[in-house]
């Protein structure tokens, strides 16, 4: 059994990317893993100040929801990020969270496998490459982990449109089950 953390970074409740995240979480849970599901739509995350105090203390000096999220990420074996793709990049909330996970850099983190689930209006899924590269930049800072899987949900423009895409929901569930 692995400890799996699924983070939906959309600010919209029930968004297409959140539905992909929930399918991943359901698959992971059905496979017998312990699954925590977090959504950023109700979290307060300030921008990283770049003070680097966290590199000495492994704690951020700011008081918001990022510290608790960082602890959850640190203690998880698997982390799945779900994001809407805007202008070919990850959501702003996801980028802010990745920056605020800086206290984990010098820590003895548990996570090894990172997954990315994306939903975008653009049907050409190759245009999601910058989002994958953005997450890979963060992953490169953590040599014990790797990008283990990606779901590219292209052509999902309308709210709840992913519900019409059983192929994507099944792929997300199967990926979750495979962790």
d(CA 84, CA 159): 11
The pLDDT value recorded for residue 91 is 97
d(CA 179, CA 149): 10
Task: Give the CATH number, domain containing residue 149.
Answer: 3.40.50.360
CA dihedral 82, 85, 89, 91 (to 10 degrees): -60
For the chain, the domain total comes to 1
Pick the closest to residue 36 from 108, 93, 109, 111 (CA basis).
111
Domain around 107: 3-177
Look over the chain and give the mean of its residue pLDDT values, rounded to a whole number: 96
> Within a 10 A sphere around the Cβ of 26, how many other Cβ atoms?
18
37-55 tens-digit pLDDT: 999 999 999 999 999 999 9
Mean pLDDT of 128-149: 97
119-128 tens-digit pLDDT: 999 999 999 9
In the structure, what pLDDT confidence band is assigned to residue 157 with cuts at 50, 70 and 90?
confident
What pTM did the predictor assign? Answer: 0.96
d(CA 86, CA 28): 27
d(CA 175, CA 173): 5
Number of alpha helices (DSSP H) and beta strands (DSSP E) in the chain:
6, 5
56-101 tens-digit pLDDT: 999 999 999 999 999 999 999 999 999 999 999 999 999 999 999 9
Q: How many residues does the chain have?
A: 179
The pLDDT value recorded for residue 160 is 87
pLDDT at 158 over 90: no
């Amino acid at each position: 059994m692995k400890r799996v953390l699924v983070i939906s970074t959309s600010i919209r409740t029930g968004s297409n990317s959140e539905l992909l995240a929930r399918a991943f979480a359901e698959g992971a849970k059905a496979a017998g893993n312990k699954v925590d599901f977090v959504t950023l739509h109700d979290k307060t995350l300030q921008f990283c100040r770049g003070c680097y105090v966290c590199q000495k203390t492994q704690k951020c000096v700011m008081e918001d929801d990022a510290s608790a999220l960082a602890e959850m990420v640190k203690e998880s074996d698997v982390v799945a990020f779900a994001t809407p793709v805007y202008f070919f990049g990850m959501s702003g909330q996801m980028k802010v969270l990745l920056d605020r996970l800086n206290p984990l850099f010098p820590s003895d983190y548990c996570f090894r496998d990172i997954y990315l689930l994306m939903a975008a209006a653009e049907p050409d899924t190759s245009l999601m490459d910058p989002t994958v590269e953005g997450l890979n930049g963060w992953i490169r800072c953590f040599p014990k982990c790797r990008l283990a899987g990606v779901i590219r949900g292209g052509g999902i423009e309308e709210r709840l449109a992913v519900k019409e895409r059983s192929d994507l929901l099944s792929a997300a569930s199967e990926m979750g089950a495979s962790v």
